[in-house]
Amino acid sequence: METRIFENAEEIAVAAAELYKELINSKPDAVLGLATGATPVPTYQNLIKMYENGEISFKDITTFNLDEYCDLDKNDKNSYYTFMHENLFSKVDIDESKVNFLDGNAPDCDAESKRYAEAIKAAGGIDLQLLGIGTNGHIAFNEPADEFTDEAFKVTLTQSTIDSNQKYFGDVPMPRYAMTMGIGSIMRSKKILLIATGEAKADAVKALHSGEVTPRIPCSILNQHDDVIIMLDKAAAKLL
């Protein structure tokens, strides 16, 4: 893991977008693993600017998002499908047929998991997987557990995740379940970029850097991947 500490979230967003620019310009049909949450939004804004300036194109890019809520229509304003379209896809030249999401309402979760794994494989694997981090150390929606997961699965969200994410839903109770890529799917990405900003992430960031690898701290598995960049602002890095 290579950890880089920046002054603030804006500086991270510039550096992260540069990483994407390098990848996209060297491999215009790259496969990107994308994340939701507030953390990646400034990076997406910089990617949109780069697209508008003619520095990058998404026309041959394939994307796979990490996760999606269950029991929510994909066009609901709080779905991750809507989030990605509002924050990136509708503002760049991406080909909608190359945009991939887990179906949070799939009647057969095992079949859905297989479908996603096969689609990732058929696309040639994920070149660069973007990750945020939950306050409890979760990545995608892989919550603290007794074992590391492998392919996508349906997860029961923990109270800690519900407490952290309810703010995005306002007065509407947020879903209790999600479909998420598993730890194995994430670890098979060729390169991983994890971004964490703000003091609320400091404990999880510290646990990630302790060197201990345990499914109780899902992000800790990243210690076993040989191409991981961690970008932190000073607040998220304050316990290092």
143 is catalytic: yes
Find the catalytic residue in 65, 87, 136, 142. 136
Nearest to ligand GLP of 42, 51 (CB atom): 42
CB 147 within 8 Å of CB 216: no
- Residues of this chain that bind ligand GLP (CB under 6 A): 35-39, 66-67, 132-134, 140-141, 161, 165
146 is catalytic: no
Nearest to ligand GLP of 127, 143 (CB atom): 143
Work out the end-to-end distance of the chain between its first and last CA atoms, rounded to an integer number of angstroms: 14
Residue 28 Cβ, how far from ligand GLP at the closest point, in Å?
A: 26
208: Cβ–Cβ under 8 A, 6 or more apart, which residues?
A: 1, 133, 137, 194, 217, 219, 220, 222, 223, 230
Residue 153 Cβ, how far from ligand GLP at the closest point, in Å?
A: 14
Nearest to ligand GLP of 62, 136 (CB atom): 136
136 is catalytic: yes
Shortest CA distance to 74 belongs to which of 102, 93, 115?
Answer: 102
| Residue 59 to residue 187: CA distance in whole angstroms | 26
Q: How many whole angstroms from its chain centre is CA 92?
A: 19
Shortest CA distance to 197 belongs to which of 9, 16, 40?
Answer: 9
Nearest to ligand GLP of 133, 231 (CB atom): 133
Residue 140 Cβ, how far from ligand GLP at the closest point, in Å?
A: 5
Bridge-based pairing of strands 67-69 and 153-156 is unpaired
Residue 180 Cβ, how far from ligand GLP at the closest point, in Å?
A: 7
Nearest to ligand GLP of 24, 174 (CB atom): 174
| Residue 214 to residue 49: CA distance in whole angstroms | 39
Residue 220 Cβ, how far from ligand GLP at the closest point, in Å?
A: 15
| Residue 149 to residue 145: CA distance in whole angstroms | 9
Find the catalytic residue in 68, 112, 127, 143. 143
Shortest CA distance to 173 belongs to which of 187, 159, 186?
Answer: 159
Find the catalytic residue in 46, 65, 67, 127. 67
Helices (H), 69-175: 80-87, 109-122, 159-165
Active site residues: 67, 136, 138, 143
